[in-house]
Chain A
């Protein structure tokens, strides 16, 4: 019976899968943007910006994501006295459910705190001489960051970023708790109606696995593209895939080449 859930998912399930994917994509994008801003703020000359950046990761890495989700969905209206999270957000062609919006916000803001550290590490990994060379050619900080430092840091940032997104795809399951109809909610509801836990939970696990596997392929392709510009010799697509699947065997394969 598990095979029915895996091989013949119904229409509602596909809507749930779609919700999972777009929430993860938007939240991850938000996390990267917030992380980049926070990372740049951390090295700002203005102390208040540095403090703000520190406060941000202190709070969002120091409290449970589930609490953040509940707080943003249920707590913000009370706290700020205005309806920050509307019942439905209308965005021209399509509209966003309030719970979905709250979920994306919570996931994105939380992710930004982790991305700050990843982006910071990426920037720090670039030799100081790069910034100095850029400056000595008359570049200002922003231009040097954009054209010289960040493109190089991207190579360091992308592998952990890929792992973060893999995590994000799965972490979206938490927002079922505020009533978002995503993949896990679909499974949970199916299970409560049928009392067939193995069928529903194995089924949904399979589909999460599909998502993360597809992502692993995409990530490998992106990393290959980034690496291509810096090395004359390029790893083949197969070798990259191997690296994404299993770093240990990839290392072995490279060693024997």
Chain B
């Protein structure tokens, strides 16, 4: 695979849409988790998805990089259909190879970090640029050190994840996904597994990213972060988006009854 220069993603030149979800449906057995979710995310935008557990928000962002197959609708990133190929009227699942290639453009930060425990912080960051994109190792390493410095972990380059705190691990995970220079980063409840004292250091890194113009979709319960960094907040409940708007709209004058209920419980 050719290393490509796509720092902030090229996007659709006409509309600047990086990610477009249209009527996405997903079921686990009998349970319909997503009942038609549509969402556009434009370049440099930070979207926070909030909602009660079981509302389908995590499932939704896992569909965006095809960690979950979808049963209906379509998702495109930078204009490319994710996970499927159009075959006449129908969509058929894409080859593993092209799904893998699409994922190089979509970063993901997990709730449980999922760092590779047998590799040092720096090796975690350098792994995919070298072995997936075929980048030069020295070059990738220099960039890796720069990324770890950016998330405040310059002195932890040679430390194994097992020796890092949760907050440090999550910052390494953010650096790891930045190393791929993705068009979009998905955050799946990035601070839910952290102690309250270290939540701040991770959120600070994410806020900085948001202000630097990274396109981000963040599933979170951190309303402070949503208020501070989000361009748009999306409320999901029972597999559909029930309300979306600016943080001001959300925290001052939510319209939907369900949103009011939810916010009053967690604020």
Q: Which of A97-112 contact B (CB under 8 A)?
A: none
Taking the complex as formed, is A140 at the interface, i.e. its CB lies under 8 A from any CB of chain B?
Answer: yes
For B110, give its contact among A132, A139, A141, A232 (CB under 8 Å): A132
Residue of B with least CB distance to A126 = B117
**Binary flags per residue of A217-246, CB closer than 8 Å to B gives 1, else 0:** 000000000000111100000000000000
Residues of chain A within 8 A (CB-CB) of B163 are: 232
Q: When A129-B112, A138-B132, A141-B96 are in contact, do A147 and B107 touch as well, CB less than 8 Å? A: no
Inter-subunit contact B118/A135 (CB<8 Å): no
Chain A contributes a number of interface residues (CB within 8 A of B) equal to 22
Question: Of the candidates B65, B67, B97, B159, which one forms a contact with A140 in the assembled complex, judged by CB atoms under 8 Å apart?
Answer: B97
| Complex: A127 Cα to B115 Cα, angstroms | 11
A residues 130-170 near B (Cβ < 8 Å) are 130, 132-141, 143, 147-148, 151-152
Q: For the complex, what is the distance from the CA of A136 to the CA of B107, rounded to whole Å?
A: 7
CB contacts (< 8 Å) of B101 on chain A: these are 138
Say which residue of B1, B159, B177 sits within 8 Å of A137 (CB atoms): B177
Min Cβ gap B64→A in Å is 10
Residues of B within 8 A of A132 (CB): 67, 110, 114
Chain B: interface size category: 20 to 34
User: Provided the pairs A136-B67, A138-B132, A143-B132 are in contact, do residues A152 and B114 lie with their beta carbons within 8 angstroms?
Assistant: no
Q: For B131, what are the chain A residues with a Cβ–Cβ distance below 8 Å?
A: 139, 143, 147
B residues less than 8 Å from A141 (CB atoms) = 96
Pair A135/B114 contact, Cβ less than 8 Å = no
Asked if A231 meets B104 with Cβ closer than 8 Å, knowing A137-B127, A138-B132, A143-B132, the reply is: no
B110 touches A152 (CB 8 A): no
A148 close to B100 (CB less than 8 A): no
Residues of B within 8 A of A135 (CB): 67, 100, 103
- Compute how far the CA of A148 lies from the CA of B116 in the bound complex, rounded to whole angstroms: 7
Interface string of B132-148 (1 = CB under 8 A from A): 11000000000000000
- Give the shortest distance, in Å, between B90 (CB) and chain A (any CB): 20
Nearest CB to that of B95 among chain A residues? A140
User: Which chain A residue has the least Cβ–Cβ distance from B186?
Assistant: A136
Residue of A nearest to B176 (CB): A137
Asked whether, in the complex, the Cβ of A230 is within 8 Å of the Cβ of B162, the reply is: yes
Q: What separation, in Å, do the CA atoms of A133 and B162 have in the docked complex? A: 17
Q: Which of B101, B127, B177, B180 counts the most chain A CB atoms within 10 A?
A: B127
How close is A179's CB to chain B, nearest CB, in angstroms?
46
- Taking the closest CB of chain A, its distance from the CB of B4, in whole angstroms, is 12
Query: Which of chain B's residues has its CB closest to A132's CB?
Result: B67
Which one of A129, A139, A232 contacts B132 once the chains associate, using CB atoms below 8 Å?
Answer: A139
Contact A230 B103 (CB under 8 A): no
A127-B114, A143-B131, A152-B118 given as contacts; is B162 within 8 A of A231 (CB)?
A: yes
A136 x B118 contact (CB < 8 A) = no
Which B79-133 residues have C-beta < 8 A from chain A? Answer: 96-97, 100-101, 103-104, 106-108, 110, 112, 114-118, 127-128, 131-133
In the complex, chain B residues whose CB is within 8 Å of the CB of A129: 110, 112, 114
Q: Are B118 and A230 in contact (CB under 8 A)?
A: yes
Q: A148-B116, A151-B118 are in contact. Are A138 and B110 (CB under 8 A)?
A: no
What is the CB-to-nearest-CB distance from A144 to chain B, in angstroms, rounded to a whole number?
9
**B229-265 vs A, Cβ < 8 Å mask (1 yes, 0 no):** 0000000000000000000000000000000000000
**In the assembled complex, B160 has its CB within 8 A of some CB on chain A:** yes
Given A129-B114, A143-B131, A147-B131, do A137 and B180 touch, yes or no (CB 8 Å)?
Answer: yes
State A134–B115 Cα separation when bound (angstroms).
9
Residues of A within 8 A of B177 (CB): 136-137
Rounded to whole angstroms, the CA-CA distance of A132 and B108 in the bound complex is 10
Q: Inside 8 A of A232's CB, which chain B residues have their CB? A: 159-160, 162-163
The 5 closest A-B pairs by CB, nearest first: A138-B104, A133-B114, A137-B128, A129-B114, A136-B108
- Sample 13 A-B pairs with CB under 8 A, ordered by A number: A127-B114, A129-B112, A129-B114, A132-B114, A136-B106, A136-B107, A138-B1, A139-B128, A152-B118, A230-B118, A230-B160, A231-B160, A231-B162
**Using a CB–CB distance below 8 Å, which chain B residues touch chain A?**
1, 65, 67, 96-97, 100-101, 103-104, 106-108, 110, 112, 114-118, 127-128, 131-133, 159-160, 162-163, 176-177, 180
With A137-B103, A139-B131 already in contact, 8 other A-B pairs whose C-beta atoms are closer than 8 Å: A135-B103, A137-B177, A138-B1, A138-B100, A139-B132, A152-B117, A229-B118, A230-B162
